[in-house]
Structure 1
Amino acid sequence: MSWTRRAWLRSISVTALAVASRDLAAHIGTGPVDPLVAAPDIWVLDSTGQRRRLPELLRGKATAVQTMFTGCSSVCPLQGAMFGAVQEGLDRNSGRRPKRLLSLSIDPLGDTPQSMQEWLRKMNAGPKWAGAIPVSDARDVRSALAGSPPDANLDRHTTQVYFFNAAAQLCWRSPSLPEPADVINVLDHLANT
């Protein structure tokens, strides 16, 4: 098949538009959250099985939150590896407030405290990295974090990181799969404000 100049230019234009649209969509809902959003007041089970309110779990620390589920075999292991790299850098810079990582399950029907413990163990999570599972439907928390209605399909969840200040307020959303250094920088900033 021979390509005419017009067909070739049309193909290039369609490809460029698709890439630009994907990149634009990837950055919508990133950066500072204004006004700040209170953490959803939901019950969660931590990885030890203790029932707690999510704001209580977040309060008093600068916290980076990722959404995941323990049965995920696509992006969740990548997110875990990224938090593993972040964990290594948490102690390099101190702040006025402690820093913490939280893996928040979006599959309350499939995840248990035991499966969360196992997932954290596989990711080599240390004492500053916790896990929690919503007691009921995770759609509300996903919606609050993303700032929009979530996709109903668990496998298509976001790979953003959500940052909470010590008052348990959402104040920053990262782009998809952020660099560990960027996560550390935002946490350092929040720990000093």
Structure 2
Amino acid sequence: MFTRRGALSGALALSLAPHAAWAANRAAARFPVRLRDMMVMDARSRARLMLMRDLVRDRVAVVSFMFTGCSTVCPIQAALLSGTQPLLAGDMGQSVVFASVSISPLSDTPEALVQFANTHRAGAGWHFLRGGIAETQRFQEGFDSLAPRIEDHPPVIAIGRANADSWSRLYGSPRPASIAAEVRNWLRQG
């Protein structure tokens, strides 16, 4: 059945399709960061460590902000990162590390984070981290990704090194191939 709403939706989708394809093939934007190291607990190993100093070190990091109660952005980004893992298989945990940082550390218990990791088939080199509320907010601010409500946090994946002044940012739902390509760009830069 033809409806005016359906026709408008279809026209809008067709008009945006070329722009979506263009955005999906664009290189990641690089923006300055204000990295503030923070103490975190790795949910799977239960180890306490400094995120940048102990976990990232000299590796390329893929940082995402998430919370287990999210039903929109977080599961989608986790699925995209899950699809990226095999594309970086030889580097995961060695020269590349994924860090999914909980933005709801009060409700994201280690058990909830482990379940989320298992649901998204997180492999070696992908860490689900929980820190203090104030430290987590400062860390988010360093990436300009702090929102007044956690439900409104921006869908961003940041890629970089602990010693870099600017990091790449991929917004929305970048394809796993795009995420892997940006990680490889960072690996080539040494």
Scaled to the shorter chain, the TM-score interval is 0.7 to 0.9
CA distance in 2, matches of 1:59, 1:169: 15
Q: Which amino acid aligns with 2:129?
A: A
Q: Counterpart in 2 of 1:9?
A: none
CA contact (8 A) 1:58 1:168 kept: no
Q: Counterpart in 2 of 1:42?
A: 38
The unaligned stretches of length 5 or more in structure 2 are 1-11
Q: Which amino acid aligns with 1:121?
A: N
Q: Which amino acid aligns with 1:81?
A: A
Cα offset, 1:192, TM superposition: 2.2
User: What is the aligned-residue RMSD (CA, Å)?
Assistant: 2.5
Match status 1:154 vs 2:159: no
- 1:46-69 deviation per Cα after TM superposition (whole angstroms, max 9, x unaligned): 112222112122112111111100
Q: Counterpart in 2 of 1:105?
A: 102
The unaligned stretches of length 5 or more in structure 1 are 1-14
1:176 to 172, 175, 181: 172
CA contact (8 A) 2:42 2:48 kept: yes
- 1:113-161 deviation per Cα after TM superposition (whole angstroms, max 9, x unaligned): 2211111011001002111112233221211112x6x221111111110
CA contact (8 A) 1:67 1:104 kept: yes
Match status 1:127 vs 2:144: no
Q: Which runs of 4+ in 1 moved over 4 A?
A: none
Distance 1:52 1:168, change over 3 A: farther
Identity of aligned residues (%): 26
CA contact (8 A) 1:55 1:168 kept: no
CA distance in 1, matches of 2:148, 2:76: 21
Q: Which amino acid aligns with 1:31?
A: A
CA distance in 2, matches of 1:163, 1:46: 19
The secondary structure found in structure 1 opposite 2:118 is: helix
Match status 1:51 vs 2:48: yes
CA contact (8 A) 1:160 1:178 kept: no
CA distance in 1, matches of 2:131, 2:162: 21
Q: Counterpart in 1 of 2:85?
A: 87
TM-score calculated relative to the size of structure 1: 0.74
The secondary structure found in structure 1 opposite 2:133 is: coil
Q: Which amino acid aligns with 1:33?
A: F
Higher mean alpha-carbon deviation, 177-186 vs 160-169, is at: 160-169
Distance 1:91 1:169, change over 3 A: farther
2:184 to 177, 188, 192: 188
CA contact (8 A) 1:59 1:168 kept: no
Distance 1:166 1:152, change over 3 A: closer
Q: Counterpart in 1 of 2:133?
A: 136
Q: Which amino acid aligns with 1:52?
A: L
Distance 1:81 1:176, change over 3 A: same
CA distance in 1, matches of 2:140, 2:185: 24
Give the count of matched residue pairs.
162
TM-score calculated relative to the size of structure 2: 0.75
